Structure 1
Amino acid sequence: MANTPTHIKAWIYSEYGKTQDVLKFDTNVEIPEIKEDQVLIKVVAAALNPIDYKRNLGYLRSFGTPLPAVPGYDVAGVVVRIGSQVTKFKVGDEVYGDINEIAIQNVKIIGSLAEYTTAEEKLLAHKPNNLSFSEAASLPAAIITAYQGLETVQFSAGKSILVLGGAGGVGTLIIQLAKHVFGASKIAATASTAKLELLRELGADLPIDYTKEKFEELPEKFDVVYDTVGESERALKAIKEGGKVITIVRSGVASAIQFGVTSDGSVLEKLKPYLESGKVKAVLDPKGPFPFSQTVEAFSHLETNRAVGKVVIYPIP
């Protein structure tokens, strides 16, 4: 604790615009103060999410996030200070989590793309020992989204599912959780030609090449379609009678269930046995991890929408 600096290095934006234009490296950002229910984390790795560059563009300005701000939701690191009400963690613990409980409300000014960040105790979990910091950082927002979405549609053993965007950050985890945690009877998933083998490795029974096939024209229909790409209208044609479409992309389709994640460390703790056993694996984009100095390049890669799994920043000095 004595070595904790007063000022830290971070990626910060002071105006809205394209990430490549507005995100700047700052070596003199004031370290965030912790509240009673928070811990201070020495960040080792962070992962990028689409919400990060949407915030940079100003999509959330109506929710009043003050500028300047440091992006970043997903974190893995080491606890260096604890608030007076914290009981689950101690200094030295390796932790991971999504540091913002609701993605668009009360967002941290100092996100995870900084040497240090803060998070409420309830949003964090102990890092599984078998996971690297990069792997751990890739998981929180995506795996909680996957899990809570499946719970929302009451997915259960014996049901079938179609995952739209199966090779993406959330999609890769929906496939694995549907198979190993929820006991799906059949899993189909869409991806481009080069990513079909990955879908099979993750547990998809029916990989669908969206460049060659229209999933809604398949004779087989599904109990659930989990849409991570924004194709809910088409997805409605792929469900059985009484089936459900759930989407994490604003769709405007009234009969699709619009879902937003609530960060929750207890979900990570619940899934820990599956991560420790290797049944559920982190999927990191092969171009990464990107070093801290190449955060802008990492965003550029994420924004192509061609990333596989998660784009991770590591190491963060």
Structure 2
Amino acid sequence: MAAAPSEYIPSVYGAWVYSEYGKTANVLKFDPNVAVPEIKEDQVLIKVVAASLNPLDSRRALGLYKDIEGDTTLPTIPGYDVAGVVVKVGSQVQKFKVGDEVYACLSNSNEIPQYHAKNSHGDLNEKALVKPNRLGSLAEYTAAGETMLALKPKNLSFIEAAGLPLAIETAYGALERTELSAGKSVLVLGGSGGVGTHVIQLAKHVFGASKVAATASTKKLDLLRSLGADLAIDYTKENIEDLPEKFDVVYDAVGQTDKAVKAVKEGGKVVTIVIGPVTPPAFRFVLTPTGSILEKLKPYLESGKVKPVLDPTGPYPFSKVVEALGYRETSRATGKVVVYPIP
């Protein structure tokens, strides 16, 4: 294995860990003595520089998925999104070398309860059966499989890159599943969130949608327009099921498929990424994270056509992870909440 000089890789590192289920404010503790993982031959060891938070971090800590086959075991280091520097590579790793600046989604599944759900073609998503990573990104070091990684675009900071992987991969993958293409229209429910902000941009600049509509609260309508939304809808004042026009695709990022199906054209597609009841003909998208999506989107990120959207309260320092999670749990965040710097 290639490795950085041994003095750069300690035997233990600091990480946020929970050993029992509950609210993150109660169960998440800082452990300064976590053993640095032994990487497998197809993995790399990453010195974490920045990480971002996702709803799954809090849900998993609550134990919502503990009885579902494939969930992680305790103790667990939370965190899916990572941006950092490769400090060691496994013997079979070919695409990355020590010193590379990389980013990735460390999860092997978007939503654990979807493991046994069928996709829109009626097939089980086998790759999503793999256990999610127990060694998450809210740590000084983490391990990741080569296939999950991509080189960080040079124009993005570690902070910006950390806010992308899970959200932008989920946005892209679900839009691809709906067969959105040039000339079609799309409505995004929850346009100001981590995923929704990317759905708007990708629909407009990557998939070539003819019209992009999105919902948000009153204060966030200008953000939607700045991201490329042709129609910014204030959900506190308008009901989407009462809109005079219908859309080819409705992307539900908030868990309202009952309303979403009333806003889609006949023969259109409704996709949701939120756990809970799904109203037909809507279907739930299951993300299998892969660095190939990040690589595919690299030209759009480097050109600035697609940009990370970060919550203005951040970044939060590594010592304030519990506070950062508490803020994200209020559902008031705009875009992604990032933790930086990580020592």
TM surpasses 0.5: yes
Alpha-carbon distance in structure 2 between the residues aligned to 1:145 and 1:59: 21
**Which of 280, 286, 294 is the equivalent residue of 1:268?**
294
8 Å contact from structure 1 (residues 100, 119) kept in 2: no
The answer to whether residue 68 in structure 2 is matched with residue 69 in structure 1 is: no
Q: Name 1:27's counterpart in structure 2.
A: 32
Output the aligned Cα RMSD: 0.8
What is the aligned partner in structure 2 of residue 141 from structure 1? 166
| 2:339 partner letter | I
2:102–2:152 Cα contact (<8 Å) kept: yes
1:254: Cα distance to partner? 3.1
Give aligned-pair identity as a percent. Answer: 67
Unaligned regions of 5+ residues in structure 1, if any?
none
1:171 pairs, out of 193, 196, 209, with: 196
Match of 1:129 in 2: 154
So what's the TM-score if we normalise by structure 2? 0.91
Task: Show the counterpart of 1:283.
Answer: 309
Q: Which runs of 5+ in 2 are unaligned?
A: 113-129
- What amino acid is the match of 1:78? V
Matched, 1:50 2:55: yes
Q: Which residue of 1 aligns with 2:117?
A: none
Which residue number in structure 2 is paired with residue 225 of structure 1? 250
Asked whether the equivalents of residues 261 and 279 of structure 2 are also in contact (C-alpha less than 8 Å), the reply is no
2:229, 2:213 → 1: CA distance? 6
Match of 1:39 among 44, 49, 63: 44
Aligned to 1:237, the other structure's residue is in SS state: coil
Displacement after TM superposition at 1:23 (Å) = 0.3
Give the Cα separation in 2 of the matches to 1:7 and 1:122.
26
1:256 to 266, 282, 287: 282
Per-residue CA deviations over 1:64-90 (Å, capped at 9, x if unaligned) read: 411111001100000000000000000
1:33: how far off? 1.2
Tell me the SS of whatever aligns to 2:200. helix
1:241-261 deviation per Cα after TM superposition (whole angstroms, max 9, x unaligned): 111110001233232111111
Q: Separation in 2 of the partners of 1:312 and 1:297?
A: 12
- What secondary structure sits across from 1:88 in the alignment? coil
- Alpha-carbon distance between aligned partners in 2 of 1:207 and 1:254, rounded to the nearest angstrom: 26
Mapped to 1, the partners of 2:265 and 2:131 lie a distance apart of 39
- 1:15 aligns to 2:20 (yes or no): yes
Q: Distance in 2 between matches of 1:56 and 1:175?
A: 30
* SS in structure 1 at match of 2:150: strand
How far, CA to CA, are the matches of 1:152 and 1:71 in structure 2? 28
Aligned residues: 317
CA distance in 2, matches of 1:229, 1:260: 15
Distance 2:342 2:307 in 1: 22
Match of 2:10 among 5, 8, 13: 5
> Which residue among 177, 198, 210 is the counterpart of 1:185?
210
State the one-letter code of the partner of 2:109.
I
Distance in 2, matches of 1:260 and 1:108, equals 16
